[in-house]
Amino acid sequence: MKLKKLIEQYINYRKSLGEKFDANSKYLRMFYNCLGKNIDISNLPAKKINNFLYRDGPITSAWFCRHTTLLGFYNYAISRGYIKTSPLPKILPKRPPAFIPYIYSKQEIKLILNTALNYQTNKSHIVPYVIQVVFLLLYATGLRLHEALDLTIGDVDLIEAVITVRETKFYKTRLVPFNMQLLQTIKEYLSWREKNIESPHTNAPLFVSLKNQPLNIGTVREIFQAIRKKAEIKRTDNARYQPRIHDLRHTFAVHHLTKWYQENKDVQKLLPVLSTYMGHTYLAATSVYLTMTRDLLREAGARFQKYAIGGSK
């Protein structure tokens, strides 16, 4: 069977099981475009497969994502008799060190929000004020960027101060409550939006350009990097990546954990609450965001010292 036909068959099979399978589909389609759509599944050169996996660059987590995706595909092909063995390499390279997200300080968050209003050198259909509100929402709620950009006017309940995030990463809908400060910000933004763009209806996107078009996720990422550079926020730890917009989500989690320690709350009991709030199916997924920062270590150490000396729980 032709590689493209079998891959599309496999993608449809995985989606029929209720999986989104978006990232995997992307990798698999890149795979048959790289090797050739009309090549037969039983005649794939090992050298071309390795070229697809390694991409002539250093080993990163993306290598293992590509390998895992192909492994699932080849297991499917073998189980249905299209091939007898997998041509994937049997010996895997050493995994790179775990990527450590960047945790913004509160001063850096303020700097990013302030810089968002004056980052543009030329006028654009994307208004700096809109970008500032997007960034503030991400930091205040821990939403994923695509979740924030997919919100509609009707998803924001101004009476109950709750955002409805619909069918996200795991096909789940969740409610995200927010504080009065963010409520006021959203009210002011909606008032501005109505005066400057249009009278919005319930199903209209929450964040739009002056052309009344939804914001593009790639464009917002590029804008964030321009703002970060102008604010002169950068890593000095030789990490592969400079601070990203997704690190606002990590920062949200770490700042909340630190605050709970400072308030002497039962962090272990509150972790499942944080996990649910962030839309995670498993508590282990939340632990990825809980990077140990200096502030977090200090608060955890103070908690342990209090317990060790005073016997307090």
Whole-number pLDDT of residue 295: 61
Whole-number pLDDT of residue 254: 87
Whole-number pLDDT of residue 217: 95
Whole-number pLDDT of residue 312: 47
Side chain identity at residue 306, one-letter code: K
Element spanning 108, H or E: helix 106-115
Within 10 angstroms of residue 70's Cβ, the number of other Cβ atoms is 21
> Taking a C-beta distance cutoff of 8 angstroms, is the pair 254, 293 a contact?
yes
Reference 116, options 257, 220, 213; nearest CA is 220
Whole-number pLDDT of residue 293: 59
User: To which residue do tokens 């080849």 refer?
Assistant: 74
User: To which residue do tokens 């508590």 refer?
Assistant: 283
Residues 6+ apart with CB under 8 A from 80: none
Residues 6+ apart with CB under 8 A from 295: 258
Q: At 308, is the secondary structure helix, strand, or coil?
A: helix
Q: Cα–Cα distances in Å, from 299 out to 275, 286, 311?
A: 20, 19, 17
pLDDT in tens, 249-307: 989 988 988 888 788 888 778 878 888 788 776 666 666 666 655 665 565 555 545 54
Chunked mean pLDDT (size 10), the chain, 313 residues: 95 91 93 90 89 84 92 96 93 84 94 96 92 97 95 96 82 87 96 87 92 95 97 88 93 87 80 80 63 58 52 46
Whole-number pLDDT of residue 308: 46
Distance CA 110, CA 119 (A): 14
Residues 6+ apart with CB under 8 A from 4: 32, 37, 38
Distance CA 129, CA 141 (A): 18
Whole-number pLDDT of residue 96: 81
Tokens for 172, please give them: 């789940």
Distance CA 190, CA 278 (A): 24
Whole-number pLDDT of residue 169: 59
